[in-house]
Homo-oligomer: A and B are copies of this chain.
Amino acid sequence: MDIEEFRRFGHAVIDWVADYRGQTRLGELPVMARVAPGGVKRELPVGPPPQPEPFEAVLQDLTRIILPACTHSQDPRFFGYFPSVSSLAAVLGDYVATGLAQLGINWQASPALTELEDVTISWLRQMLGLSAAWSGAFQDTATTGTLVALLSARERATSYGASRGGLQESARPLVVYASSQSHESVGKAVRLAGIGSNNLRLVPVDDRYAMRTDVLEEMIRTDRARGLQPCAVVATTGSAETTALDPVADIAAITCAQGLWLHVDAAMAGSAMILPECRWMWAGVEKADSIVFNPHKWLGASFDCSVYWVRDAEHLLRVMSANSSYLHTRSDSRVKSYRDWGIPLSRPHRAVKVWFLVREQGVSGLQARIRRDIGHAQWLAEQVDATSGWRRMAPSPLQTVCVRHEPPGLNESALDTHTLAWVCRINESGRAYLTPARLDGRWMVRIAFGSEATEHHHVAALWSLMRDEASWHH
Contacts and interface: CB of A to CB of B under 8 A. Distances in A.
Contacts of A313: none
Quickly give the copy total for this chain: 2
Interface stretch (A163-171, A210-218, A281-289): A163-171
Interface string A360-393: 1111110000000000000000000000000000
A99 B17 contact: yes
A266 interface: no
A14 B7 contact: yes
A140 interface: yes
A196 B73 contact: no
B69 A196 contact: no
Given A123-B47, A184-B345, A71 B304 contact: no
Interface in A2-22: 2-7, 9-11, 13-18, 20-22
B166 A191 contact: yes
Nearest to A93: B58
Given A38-B334, A326-B240, A101 B123 contact: no
A100 to B, nearest CB: 6
A317 B4 CA distance: 44
Interface string A45-74: 111111111010110001001111111011
Contacts of A188: 320, 322, 343, 345
A180 interface: no
A335 interface: yes
A358 interface: yes
B196 A163 contact: yes
A254 to B, nearest CB: 23
B25 A344 contact: no
Interface stretch (A403-411, A431-439, A457-465, A466-474): A431-439
A422 interface: no
The secondary-structure label for the interface of chain A is: helix
Contacts of A87: 1
A469 to B, nearest CB: 16
Contacts of A190: 166
Interface stretch (A141-149, A201-209, A244-252, A256-264): A141-149
A195 B38 CA distance: 40
A118 interface: yes
A18 B1 contact: no
Contact of A324 (B105, B240, B326): B240
Contact of A48 (B52, B66, B92, B123): B123
A89 B37 contact: no
A169 B362 CA distance: 52
A154 interface: yes
A284 B341 CA distance: 36
A435 B108 CA distance: 11
A14 B222 CA distance: 61
A303 interface: yes
A194 B162 contact: yes
B168 A170 contact: yes
Given A302-B98, A326-B436, A108 B33 contact: yes
Interface string A311-344: 0000000011011111101001011000000011
A98 to B, nearest CB: 5
A47 B99 contact: no
A89 B303 contact: no
Contacts of A49: 358-359, 362-363
Contact of A110 (B17, B70, B101, B104): B70
What are the 10 A-B residue pairs with the smallest beta carbon separation, nearest first?
Answer: A166-B196, A194-B194, A17-B99, A326-B437, A86-B101, A69-B112, A10-B14, A40-B115, A325-B438, A162-B191
Given A6-B18, A66-B116, 10 more contacts: A14-B14, A37-B107, A51-B364, A55-B360, A68-B112, A70-B110, A70-B111, A103-B303, A165-B196, A329-B435
10 contacts: A13-B92, A16-B99, A17-B96, A33-B110, A48-B363, A57-B359, A66-B352, A163-B197, A168-B199, A329-B435
